[in-house]
Structure formats: C-alpha cells, structure tokens
Amino acid sequence: MEQPLTLKFFKEKFVWRDVADAARTTIRMEEGDKEPSSAWKRRILLSEHSPIRQMTFRWKWLDLKYWVSVHFVRHKIGIEHFVSTQRTDRTGVNRDETPQSSPVNHECFANAQSLIFISRKRLCRQASAETTAAWKMVLAEVKKREPELYSVCVPECVYRGFCPEFKTCGYAGTKAFQKALDAYRKGSEE
C-alpha cells in the first residue's frame, strides 16, 4: 500500500526589515526603522531584486515518489536538496530492483527567488500532476506565512504573459488565464 505524501515541517528564516535594509544598501540609503508595507513586499518580489534571496525557507516531503523527487532536484539555483539514499549498501535493498515510484524523503532549503522560479515550471499545466501536487503543498505553507510571496508564485505563462511551451495546453487563451494574468500584474501597479 502506497504511503500518502506529507509535508513534515516548514520553516522560514528571515526578517522583512533585513530584506528592506539590503534593498536600501543597494541604493545607498540608511537603514530604516519601519516594517515594509505589503505593497512594497509584493513589488520587490515581482521585481525579483537580489535582497529577496535573504528570504529562506525549509521543508521536507515524506514519502515523495522518487521520480517526482528527480523533478525537483533539477532545480539547482538558490536551493539545496537532501534526498534519502537508495544505495544498496545503505538500505539492504537492491537498487536495480527498486521501482521509480518508491518513496523517498526529500528535504529542501531555498530562497524566495528559487520558489518563484520553481513555481513557474511546476505550476505549468504541462508538468506532471504528482509534481504539481507536491509543489502546491509547499505553496500552501508559503501562503499562510508570506501571502505576498505566494501571490507571485505563478506558472510560466502568467509570468511571461504567453505560453512558451512547444506544445501548449491552451490555458493561455482562456478567460481564466486572463484573470490570473490581471491579478499577477495588478501588484506591479500598486
């Protein structure tokens, strides 16, 4: 019987004032003493300026299918992966006989820039449903803690305003796509 996929923990390690102060440093301003507004947070996230890389997150999937884990391991900029081994000498199970659907534990440590990028690829309707579901578990936790970050974690078509895939799913031509695109762009006008 297959184990259900779970997200064991989710932690964030940053302070928004540090992000704002890093942004001030880049434009030769003194450190501030007030908390950034929600509109400012969304603008810096939309612009993807370097201070957002101070925003770090950690999570762990339990019983993630190995082949889904491989999809996430392909993301390498701004993220570290720690995946449970399938080595025969460590598990006592012949790795050559282990199916790709075997469960692994997959822990990640990533910055906000990486979460935005991963969302562009893993929320695409061309991504596998299992990979998208695992990623949505992470985004559900992001939404609880950092709604501004969640609001900029969109599929590639919304990010670009068109579908760049070789074989489009057709979503980019729908009213739902236009609504998502308008919501995404709204933050850049605030």
- Token look-up 């709204």 returns 186
What b/e string do you get for 135-169 counting C-beta neighbours within 10 Å, with b at 16 or more? beebbebbeeebebbbbbbbbbbbbeeebeeeeee
* pLDDT per residue as tens digits for the range 22-43: 999 999 888 878 889 999 999 9
Q: What is the DSSP string of 48-114?
A: T-GGGGG-EEEEEEEEEEHHHHHHHHT--TTEEEEE----HHHHSS-GGG--TT-EEEEEEEEEHHH
Please tell me the predicted confidence (pLDDT) of residue 189.
52
Please tell me the predicted confidence (pLDDT) of residue 186.
85
All domains of the chain, ordered by start, with CATH? 6-156 (3.30.1360.170)
Please tell me the predicted confidence (pLDDT) of residue 3.
75
Question: Is 50 exceeded by the pLDDT of residue 190?
Answer: no
Inter-residue long-range contacts of 30-36, CB under 8 Å, 24+ positions, other chains counted: none
Please tell me the predicted confidence (pLDDT) of residue 10.
86
pLDDT band, residue 4 (cuts 50/70/90): confident
Percent of the chain with pLDDT over 70: 97
Q: Mean pLDDT across the stretch 108-113?
A: 97
Please tell me the predicted confidence (pLDDT) of residue 34.
85
Is the separation of the CB atoms in 19 and 54 below 8 Å? yes
Question: Is 90 exceeded by the pLDDT of residue 116?
Answer: yes
pTM assigned to the model:
0.92
